[in-house]
Amino acid sequence: MKIGFVGLGIMGKPMAKNLLKAGYDVTVTTHKQAVIDEMVAAGAKAAKNAKDEIEQGCDVIITMLPNSPQVKEVALGKDGILDAKKSGITLIDMSSIDPVESKTVGAKLAEAGIDMLDAPVSGGEPKAIDGTLSVMVGGKKETFDKFYDVMMAMAGSVVYVGPLGSGNVAKLANQMIVASNIGIVAEALTFAKKAGTDPELVYQAIRGGLAGSTVLDAKAPMMLSGNYKPGFRIDLHIKDLTNALNASHAINMPVPMTAHMMEVMQELKNHDEGSNDHDDIVKYYERMTGVSIVKDEK
């Protein structure tokens, strides 16, 4: 099996490296030559674009791209997958996009005899690096089974969710929950500080109870230390919440908590914090209250 990988950003580069570590034959393409050089040094082959990857013999293409327009361009555009005019290959799109767009792209590819899985991931850069991402997959079950081991080379968990588009439905549900959880962690710790109680001790007191969560343990220490280095950028979470709002409105579903968190993140973006980690939500509360929970700050 020869794998073509398109998109070598914060998430894609370590994911592609984990495929190499697992022994797969990987050909990569991205806009940054320095990243191509780094990947070639790690054992990958280089290509100009997705079409070139297929012409070099890749029978599965993995994409890890910012949003729907980029996925559509690589799948359907000039020098893309469809442009290679080769049937029998498979696209595994691990980007987080609108599930409606996943279905649209999949239908176009199917007309040319090309299969597709939508397989977005959760876990951020640390889990991309150590190969323990959670992957949510939509598409044909037999295609999922065929490429399960490939996806597991980058993940700690790979779960089949349903037909094409279902992976991105699961990812959007994940992002809705994560945004709301980070928001309430920031709110609760700021409440503790403003009430005169050490927020770090509050965190330690509650983390073993019902309020304990992966989000609490991942983000509370970052908030308390003033560490806003991404992980997962506010701008990307805004993208996901935009897709969640669009998808929910398409099925006439009200999502008030998601909508509120979108407004919070827009406030952060307006303060030029879009490139910060989403734990930066705590700054929204800092600006509202005049209270910082960062250790050694009053």
Query: Residues 62, 5: contact at Cβ < 8 Å?
Result: yes
CB atoms within 10 A of CB 137: 25
- Say which residues have a Cβ less than 8 Å from residue 186's Cβ, sequence separation at least 6: 223, 279, 281, 282, 284, 285
Apex 89 CA angle, 83 and 92, nearest 5: 95
- Say which residues have a Cβ less than 8 Å from residue 126's Cβ, sequence separation at least 6: 231
CB atoms within 10 A of CB 277: 23
**Neighbour-count burial of 275, counting CB atoms closer than 10 A to its CB (0-12 exposed, 13-18 middle, 19+ buried):** middle
What residues act catalytically?
171
CA distance 224 to 212: 16
CA distance 120 to 125: 14
CA distances from 286 to 116, 194, 225, 293, 297 (A): 44, 10, 14, 8, 12
Query: Residues 230, 277: contact at Cβ < 8 Å?
Result: yes
Three-state SS for 127-142 is: HHHHCCEEEEEECCHH
CA distance 120 to 105: 15
